[in-house]
Structure 1
């Protein structure tokens, strides 16, 4: 079964003029979970309900990276939407989503980089008749800051600034700072703030399980125990 990130990846590959070569790309991968077939975890994917939406704005090649965790969000949150970000163009479907009266959008970004500070909120405030829509900039930190500055169509939305008490558990890409969280970790925090505890916990577990299977396959280790 495909989802928004799966489809965005297919669209991005279709318009590529040369192949995207990721580390370990010569090894065959399961097209659904992106792990070597010997360590496939598709049968373990969680099935939970959630009452929020997630809008992923993905920098150019993010959807092509086998370690991308926006993919994991789309596995868990049914109403996940994914769009490729471009500096000079905005997809009409993205603008339609942002104007959808069923949703209250929140742009998720560190408040220390936001002006004016009046845009910054630390809570998800229920709006009658609307569901939260969390807009996540799926990119490296440097790319995300550029996306934040150069996306004026997002300026009208409140900025949800998270204040996590723990450090990142993500192990598949390097970061110089422990307080830089991967996209799936950020989404799980947003789900928790929105009162979607079951979905938040399921996404956290799914990230941990994906990371364990991915690293075991990469290192030639046995399939991790499901327990």
Structure 2
């Protein structure tokens, strides 16, 4: 028999994160496009990010027929948060937007799945690409990332908002994420965590 889950954060009721999820205002609008393979992932950080921001929207799928509408909210300049060749520094892009608020489009999935989203949605692939400043380190201690600066979706969104809306802080967005990580580590035990994730190295 499956455990009862919270309808909002979709965590087991015994580990509900809702009390830790803030409701933050942002001038930037965030559109998260989540690959279906991520929906049931134990660490679904995209959902936590969408719940924690008033001006955010989460859509799940591979081919988004509604993309023309999603990418055209009045008064916003759209860009795709996707590092790599051709990506412009987010602060530089924001400066060129001339004070217009940004629509930050964030694909959620593995690198392979994120690229598939771009392949399936030419409008998405055509957006100007932006990247976060160098030097941001992930707190995602349960994931063996390919690079030290590979961030979870909620970390990337938090980092982007703190760049765009400084001196405002969006650190509260990470509280449920950190509690989720701590809970997973506690469940596996310190020795297992140290063996599998290199704690203390």
TM-score by length of 1: 0.70
User: CA 1:27 to 1:186, structure 2 compared with 1: closer, same or farther past 3 Å?
Assistant: same
> Deviation per CA, 1:134-189, whole angstroms, max 9, x where unpaired?
11110011211232344311244221112331321113444343322110011011
Aligned pair count reads 188
Unaligned runs of 5+ residues in structure 2 are: 191-201
Cα offset, 1:39, TM superposition: 3.2
Q: Does 1:122 align with 2:90?
A: yes
- How far apart in 2 are the matches of 1:191 and 1:59? 22
> TM-score if structure 2 supplies the norm length?
0.78
Distance 1:79 1:163 in 2: 23
1:63-120 C-alpha deviation (Å, 9 max, x unpaired)? 232311001111211121222332xx4322x3112122221111011133xxxx3x63
Alignment of 1:100-111 (within 5 A): 100-111=73-84
What root-mean-square deviation, in Å, do the aligned CA atoms of Structure 1 and Structure 2 show? 2.8
36, 61, 73: which one pairs with 1:60?
Answer: 36
CA distance in 2, matches of 1:43, 1:50: 20
With over 3 angstroms needed to count, the CA separation of the structure-2 counterparts of 1:196 and 1:208, relative to structure 1, is farther
